[in-house]
Every structure is written in structure tokens, then in C-alpha cells.
């Protein structure tokens, strides 16, 4: 798979599909999870491979972390345990999922392979062919596309082109005339594998070869020099794992794309180029997920997350994508929206039949491995709380260790301004250091621990200024009064 001109999302990605090299391996036979059936009227939230965890374990987990707090704020942990396989309809994602799960789920919180298409605004007003199953018109409109045409529309407009299946050859040469004022197609969006592959492949090739104008019939074999139309593909997994009991991989959208690429290459003598590939492990999908999380944090009046954990079971998509995006961030890449910065992504893998004990490359290795989703979330909560305590203690220790430097500067500097010699100023500081040390010890460790552990960010500046004012007042008292007054300390 090749990619044409780079697509710049707010200039935050050097390459939109830097992980596409790994997609070749994934699509050449490696097993892959199904990230969602893009374009169908129903999508699995839990997925066919979701583990049947007991309700008792879910309740126990919720009770255990009921009063958990991070960054000084309580967090709500809700464990959803659907007894039956749960689906939501694309047209009513928020309402249906909220009713079935018993918690509020907004459409903005559900990120799918095609979700980043919202960022491709330069195509939203173009004449776009959208391919997939289900209500692709509705899906495309929800993503921002305003001028959509589907394969069914093309079949109606150009019945003479749909002639692979004898049963669908309904072309009436006497009563048919070419459509007038047909607007050429400007781009193709592949949400997911369509039905009737032979018909879909035929129409896609027609659109690609004629540069978006199958009505013009300008094609002459071997005489086409233009590059192919902008092509955006979602969810390129070659195969996916079905329900338990079906151990053989099921072909996915990547298989359909492989057929399209092979036929185009054979007919045109050159490779089919993609403008963008969306879905795991492409970085643009993780960039979009970051944007969604930051928006949710803003709505909740919470600081943006500095670390994001990815839990997945497929090293070639879930883990690889998280590690690719984390490497991009560590090498100076930007994930900035609304003046919010992201520090890192961390990957976690839960063990399933898709995982292998075979040696993985560095980018396919997760940060940690847990047996199930509950264990992964529990480990993350413990890690965040423990890691945060360590950071707070380090800050408190640093403030306490550097306090003598600031107090010494205050005492000695004030003495010099009063006309004393440097020697007498240092002697004065050494004389009063026991009182200053006790003041530092009683002030900075407890008050700074309260500052870093309990207070939200918006109150820290005011709190620190008040403490500093009180500290300077006592320091001035120590400086300008005889040390005999402090023998009671």
C-alpha cells in the first residue's frame, strides 16, 4: 500500500500513515481484530471477542474503586456488564447505547475507524463516492460530507456498467440515455467492505479509470496518465476473528482493498495510491482519539490528560498504533488542541487468542500484559495513584532541600542592604539558621503536600502566594528581632 501526498491535520503529523508499513504485514496473513464493521447499520460495542466476565466481579471492582481519586478529584468508575451481546444503531448511537448500558454515552465518546474523517474538511463539500454497508449516506453526513453518492446510486444511473452478474443485467439500450449534468466524483471514501464485491469492484475501477466521470466514457486502455482520485480507506484489517467456536479468520475490508489494488495495478500498470488510511495503527486515528479525550476533559472542567493508556489484544493494530504515536510524541511531534499538550501514550495488552507468544518487534511490545480488562484497569489505577504519590514526594523533597538557599538569600541580602559587611551578614544567617530551619521544616513539607496532592490546579497559585506571604512575614520577624526571642522554639 502506498500513500500519495501527505495530508496535514493542523500541521500536527509529519506523516498521516507512518504505520502503514506494518499494515502490509498485517494484511499479508497476520490475524487481526475487527475494530468495527464500518458502514453497517449495527456495530458491536463489546465486540464478538468480549470476555464473559461475571457480574459479581464487575460489582466487586466497582465497589473497590468507588471512592478513587486522581489529581485530588474523585473519579467515577462504572462497570458495565451486558448479559447479552450488545449493539447500537449508527443513527441513534447515544440514545440506544445509553438505554442499554444504563450510563450516558455521547456519540463524541465513541471513536471508530472512520471517526477521523471529520478532520478531512477539504473533502466535505466535494462530490464524494462513499462505499460500505448499511446507511452510508447517514454515516457520511454525520461525518461532515455534504455531497454524497453511493454505489446504489451509480447502479441506478449507469445500469449498463453493472453487468458482471447475469441476474442484474437490466440494461435496456432502447430506453436508457446517459444522465445529464452528472457531476464528476472528486474523491472516494471506503468505510468498509461492500456487498456484491464483483459489482463494487467494477464501479470503483470505472470511477478510478475515468477520473471520476463514468458518464464521459473517455477511457482508452493504455492511454490514461492521470493519478487516481483521492482515496480514503478505513479499517484495513485483512482478517478478523469471529465468535468463539469459529477459529478460522474471517476476511475483512483489507481483503477487499487487496482485490481493488491488484486489479487497478494490473489494468493501469501502476500502484493504487491512498490519500489516507484510517483506523489502527495509523497515527491520525490516535490523534483524533486524543482530541476527543481532551474535549471531554474540557467539558468536565478537568485538566487534559497527560498520559493515555491503550488497552487492546492485537499487537499488530492496538499496541503498534499506540507505540507508533507515542514514539511520534517523544520525537517532538505535537498533539495540540486548544492549547492542551499530551505527554505520552502507554500500551497495555490483554491476553486473547489473537495474541502470540512469538517474539514481537519493539513497536509491537506492550508496556504491560494483563489477563483481562478488569486487571488492566486496576493496574492502571494503582500505577497512576502510586506514580503520582512518588511525584508529589519528589516535589516536596525538592522544595524542602532548596529552602535554605532562598532563606539564606533573604537574610544575607537584607543584611547587605542594611549596610552590614558580607562577613557579618553570613554570621547573622548562621546564628539564626536553627530558627529558619525549623520554620522551613514546619512550612514547606506539609503545606506543599497539601498543594500538590489535594488542591486542583486553578487554586494552586493563590494558595502558594498566601503561604509565601505568611512565610516571608515570619522570616522578616526572625531577621529583625533578637535571637533571644526565639529561645522558646
Residue 189, φ and ψ in degrees, nearest 5: -115, 120
pLDDT per residue as tens digits for the range 91-123: 344 444 455 555 667 777 777 888 888 888 889
In this structure, of 227-231, 244-248, 412-416, 440-444, the range with the lowest mean pLDDT score is 244-248
**Domain at 2-372: CATH code:** 3.40.50.1000
The whole-number pLDDT of residue 63 equals 59
Q: What is the mean pLDDT of residues 376-396?
A: 75
| C-alpha to C-alpha distance for 463 and 461, rounded to whole angstroms | 5
DSSP codes of every residue in 27-58: HTT--------TTSSEEESS-TT-----HHHH
Q: What is the mean pLDDT of residues 6-35?
A: 38
Does position 260 have pLDDT exceeding 90, yes or no?
yes
pLDDT per residue as tens digits for the range 347-369: 444 443 344 434 356 666 666 67
Q: What is the mean pLDDT of residues 255-265?
A: 92
Q: pLDDT averaged over the chain? A: 70
Q: Show the cell assigned to 122.
A: 477539504
C-alpha distances in Å from residue 254, one per residue of 23, 30, 33, 386, 469: 9, 12, 12, 42, 64
The whole-number pLDDT of residue 454 equals 79
| C-alpha to C-alpha distance for 346 and 312, rounded to whole angstroms | 11
Q: Show the cell assigned to 170.
A: 437490466
The whole-number pLDDT of residue 400 equals 87
Q: Show the cell assigned to 402.
A: 532548596
| C-alpha to C-alpha distance for 272 and 413, rounded to whole angstroms | 73
Q: What is the mean pLDDT of residues 215-231?
A: 67
Residue range(s) occupied by CATH 3.40.50.1000 in the chain = 2-372
DSSP codes of every residue in 65-85: TTT-EETTEE--------SS-
Distance of CA 304 to the CA centre of its chain: 13
- Contact in structure between 372 and 53 (CB atoms under 8 Å): yes
472: closest CA among 411, 381, 392, 399? 411
DSSP symbol at 337? B
Amino acid at each position: 500500500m502506498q500513500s500519495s501526498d501527505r495530508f496535514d491535520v493542523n500541521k500536527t503529523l509529519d506523516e498521516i500513515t507512518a504505520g502503514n508499513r506494518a499494515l502490509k504485514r498485517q494484511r499479508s496473513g497476520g490475524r487481526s481484530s475487527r475494530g468495527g464493521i464500518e458502514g453497517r447499520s449495527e456495530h458491536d460495542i463489546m465486540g464478538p471477542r468480549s470476555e464473559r466476565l461475571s457480574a459479581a466481579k464487575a460489582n466487586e471492582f466497582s465497589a473497590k474503586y468507588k471512592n478513587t481519586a486522581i489529581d485530588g478529584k474523585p473519579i467515577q468508575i462504572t462497570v458495565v456488564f451486558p448479559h447479552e451481546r450488545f449493539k447500537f444503531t449508527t443513527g441513534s448511537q447515544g440514545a440506544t447505547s445509553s438505554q442499554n448500558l444504563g450510563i450516558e454515552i455521547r456519540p463524541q465518546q465513541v471513536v471508530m475507524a472512520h471517526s477521523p474523517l471529520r478532520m478531512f474538511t477539504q473533502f466535505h463539500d466535494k462530490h464524494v463516492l462513499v462505499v460500505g454497508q448499511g446507511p452510508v449516506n447517514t454515516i457520511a453526513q454525520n461525518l461532515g460530507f455534504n455531497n454524497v453518492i453511493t454505489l446504489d446510486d451509480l447502479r441506478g444511473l449507469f445500469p449498463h456498467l453493472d453487468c458482471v452478474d447475469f441476474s442484474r443485467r437490466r440494461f435496456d439500450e432502447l430506453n436508457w440515455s446517459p444522465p445529464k449534468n452528472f457531476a464528476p466524483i472528486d474523491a472516494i471514501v471506503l468505510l468498509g467492505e461492500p456487498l456484491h464485491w464483483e459489482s463494487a469492484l467494477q464501479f470503483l475501477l470505472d470511477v478510478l479509470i475515468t477520473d471520476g466521470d463514468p458518464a464521459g466514457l473517455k477511457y482508452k486502455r493504455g492511454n490514461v496518465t492521470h493519478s487516481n482520485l483521492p482515496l480514503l480507506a478505513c479499517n484495513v484489517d485483512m482478517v478478523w476473528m469471529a465468535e468463539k467456536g469459529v477459529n478460522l479468520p474471517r476476511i475483512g475490508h483489507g481483503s477487499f482493498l487487496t482485490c481493488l489494488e491488484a486489479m487497478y495495478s494490473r489494468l493501469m500498470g501502476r500502484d493504487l495510491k491512498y490519500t489516507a488510511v484510517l483506523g489502527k495503527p495509523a497515527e491520525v486515528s490516535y490523534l483524533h482519539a486524543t482530541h476527543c479525550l481532551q474535549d471531554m476533559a474540557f467539558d468536565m472542567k478537568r485538566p487534559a490528560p497527560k498520559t493515555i493508556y491503550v488497552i487492546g489484544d492485537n499487537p499488530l493494530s492496538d499496541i503498534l498504533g499506540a507505540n507508533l504515536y507515542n514514539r511520534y510524541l517523544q520525537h517532538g511531534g505535537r498533539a495540540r488542541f486548544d492549547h492542551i499538550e499530551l505527554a505520552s501514550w502507554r500500551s497495555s495488552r490483554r491476553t486473547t487468542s489473537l495474541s502470540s507468544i512469538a517474539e514481537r518487534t519493539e513497536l509491537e511490545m506492550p508496556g504491560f500484559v494483563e489477563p483481562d480488562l478488569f486487571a488492566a484497569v486496576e493496574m492502571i489505577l494503582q500505577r497512576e495513584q502510586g506514580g503520582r504519590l512518588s511525584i508529589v514526594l519528589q516535589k516536596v523533597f525538592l522544595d524542602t532541600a532548596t529552602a535554605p538557599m532562598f532563606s539564606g538569600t533573604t537574610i544575607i541580602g537584607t543584611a547587605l542592604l542594611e549596610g552590614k559587611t558580607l562577613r557579618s551578614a553570613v554570621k547573622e544567617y548562621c546564628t539564626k539558621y536553627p530558627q529558619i530551619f525549623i520554620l522551613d521544616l514546619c512550612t514547606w513539607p506539609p503545606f506543599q503536600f497539601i498543594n500538590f496532592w489535594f488542591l486542583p490546579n486553578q487554586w494552586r497559585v493563590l494558595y502558594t502566594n498566601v503561604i509565601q506571604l505568611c512565610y516571608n512575614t515570619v522570616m522578616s520577624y526572625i531577621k529583625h528581632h533578637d535571637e533571644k526571642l526565639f529561645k522558646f522554639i
